Amino acid sequence: MFADPGKILPVILVIFAFSLTDTFDTVGTFIGTGRKSGIFDAKDEKALEESAGFKSKMDKALFADSVATSIGALAGTSNTTTYIESAAGIGVGGRTGLTSVVTAVMFILCLPFAALFGIVPPQATAPALIVVGVLMAESFSGIKWSDIDEAVPAFLTVLFMAFAYNISYGIAAGFIFYCISKIVRNKAKEVHPILYVSTALFILNFVVLALGII
């Protein structure tokens, strides 16, 4: 990829786009499913933000996910990251890592029948996503809808996730409109600098995608 100097910038942008998307996609999925399962709570999220190293449960989970994603990429498989569909398993009682182990074993046993399962149309499996949506909607109760600074970004986050069919795009919209709402209401100093940097990178990512550079 780096043999042609003229392609170095697009390659770097591709790496950046994938890294940014996977990071926020994973964090969003972990928080959503983790809260639903009871594995992660507000204390764990705070520990993720304030602690160094791999001390919190979230740190360890994110490290495991990054290792799996990297190994999967090297092996040429589909992205072996977390999926929001895991909420369906959580909804029927899955609460520990053993759930994932059993699911993995079932996938291995199904490999010889992959062609047969492939004829099942998406319409037959789509209802499972409705169940996932219902389970995840419980988190809406934690949003301070009376606070316009939080309500608008949260609403647009959900809206963009639904219409773009992409968790990371929804998170990007939330970041962007959160910064905009704070700036418009003369509360720009309340926003952490890292949030401004992340927002700028998200905007850059969208501009690059719109221009067709990657």
Q: Tell whether 127 is covered by a domain.
A: no
* Contact present, 208 and 5 (Cβ < 8 Å): no
* Contact present, 95 and 88 (Cβ < 8 Å): no
Q: Tell whether 160 is covered by a domain.
A: yes
Q: Tell whether 200 is covered by a domain.
A: yes
Instruction: Tell me phi and psi for residue 78, to 5 degrees.
Output: -65, 165
In three-state secondary structure terms, 157 is helix
* Contact present, 118 and 163 (Cβ < 8 Å): no
Q: Tell whether 36 is covered by a domain.
A: no
pLDDT of residue 180: 92
Parent domain of 191:
143-214
Predicted model pTM: 0.59
Q: Tell whether 82 is covered by a domain.
A: no
pLDDT of residue 2: 66
**Contacts by 204-207, CB closer than 8 A, 24 or more apart:** 205/16, 205/17, 205/20, 205/21, 205/172, 206/172
* Contact present, 170 and 164 (Cβ < 8 Å): yes
pLDDT of residue 105: 92
Q: Tell whether 190 is covered by a domain.
A: yes
Q: Tell whether 124 is covered by a domain.
A: no
DSSP character at residue 129:
H
Domain count, the chain: 1
Q: Which residues of the chain have pLDDT under 50?
A: none
